[in-house]
Amino acid sequence: MATIDGLPPLREVLRTHDLVAKKSLGQNFLLDLNLTAKIARSAGDLTGADVLEIGPGPGGLTRGLLAEGARKVLAIEKDTRCLPALAEIAAAYPGRLEVINGDALEIDPLSHLTPPIKIAANLPYNVGTELLVRWLTPKNWPPFWESLTLMFQREVAERIVAKPGSNHYGRLAILAQWRAEAKIVMSLPPEAFTPAPKVHSAVVHLRALPEPRYPANAATLSRVVAAGFNQRRKMLRASLKGVAPDIEAKLEKAGIAPTERAEKVTLEQFCRLARIVDGQE
Ligand code: SAM
């Protein structure tokens, strides 16, 4: 059966290259090219942009990104078994796909990319969360990327977009929403993947804001939020006790009741508290 890019269907690619999914690498492949094209489209207009893809596997999403017009895709894949399949895609899109074999947690991709840069990935969930936190906490803002389009298990996606008062609200929501606009753009059932994982998944799109929604020092905000949510059932006057002297007065100045719990505090209030802790207000 022909595909839009003239390359073989992904099931055939898996057979030809004997790519049996490995649990240890969190491999759950997307084999429907219509679906991968749809995920690529949810990353926005790709023409004129370099796309960093982490964990291309047999290349379903990679093909979607290239077919949707990415100027270049830089794909970092740990599993050497996937390289021959990726080389076939590179040959079909001359000069537009560069593959690096290695661990995305250890490779700095910046020297291989030219702005504007977008990031797209369907990654094992643990690696995905770690990379997301790194991408959200660079030293300087705006970051090197314009947007992130990432597959997560549904529960993690809910934590990224959560609002105050929700059970999912925590450090990840604050980190994501302080300097980016985050939304869930697609939901996928387990059967969308081969093999099917146990849980539902969702694609989250994050667009970097030119500057933070509210001023605050990143390290202080991070410290306040981590302390608040580490003991999320405790009142803030107790959970934030070690963060700064006179924390009750500081909470009150920020408009937060000292008996409140972290999950009720808005992003704006957390930022104000961080400024007060730093003596800026
Ligand atoms: N993107 C492909 C797709 O959608 O069908 C594969 C998705 S699969 C969930 C995750 C991929 O990430 C696998 O190909 C796996 O080998 C790769 N991977 C896992 N850990 C990695 C790491 N630390 N660095 C780079 N790639 C990794």
- DSSP letters, 68-105, are TTBSEEEEEES-GGGHHHHHHHHHHSTTTEEEEES-TT
pLDDT at 136 over 70: yes
**Percent of the chain topping pLDDT 90:** 96
Beta sheet of 180-188, edge-to-edge order: 97-101, 72-77, 50-54, 117-122, 147-153, 201-208, 180-188
pLDDT for 125: 82
**Closest approach atom of ligand 1 to CA 25:** 19
The residue-averaged pLDDT of 85-94 equals 98
Residue 77, annotated as binding a ligand: yes
- 34 near 9, Cβ under 8 Å? no
How, if at all, do strands 147-153 and 72-77 pair?
A: unpaired
Cis upstream peptide for 195 (omega within 30°): yes
pLDDT at 1 over 80: no
Rounded to two decimals, the pTM is: 0.96
pLDDT for 168: 97
Render pLDDT for 43-52 as a digit per residue (tens, 0 to 9).
Answer: 999 999 999 9
Residue with tokens 């605050």, as numbered in its chain: 216
Instruction: Count CB neighbours of 128 within 10 A.
Output: 23
The residue-averaged pLDDT of 163-171 equals 96
Residue 103, annotated as binding a ligand: yes
Sign of the torsion angle spanned by Cα atoms 110, 107, 28, 73: positive
Range in 1-5, 106-110, 223-227 the model is least confident about? 1-5
Hey, is 160 helix, strand or coil?
helix
pLDDT for 5: 87
Render pLDDT for 35-76 as a digit per residue (tens, 0 to 9).
Answer: 999 999 999 999 999 999 999 999 999 999 999 999 999 999
pLDDT band per the 50, 70, 90 thresholds, residue 276: very high
As for ligand 1, residues whose beta carbon falls within 6 Å of it are: 25-30, 54-57, 60-61, 76-79, 82, 103-105, 122-124, 127
pLDDT band per the 50, 70, 90 thresholds, residue 139: confident
Protein residue whose Cα sits closest to atom 11 of ligand 1: 55
The whole-angstrom separation of Cα 252 and Cα 265 is 12
The residue-averaged pLDDT of 222-238 equals 95
pLDDT for 57: 98
Task: Name the average pLDDT for the chain.
Answer: 96
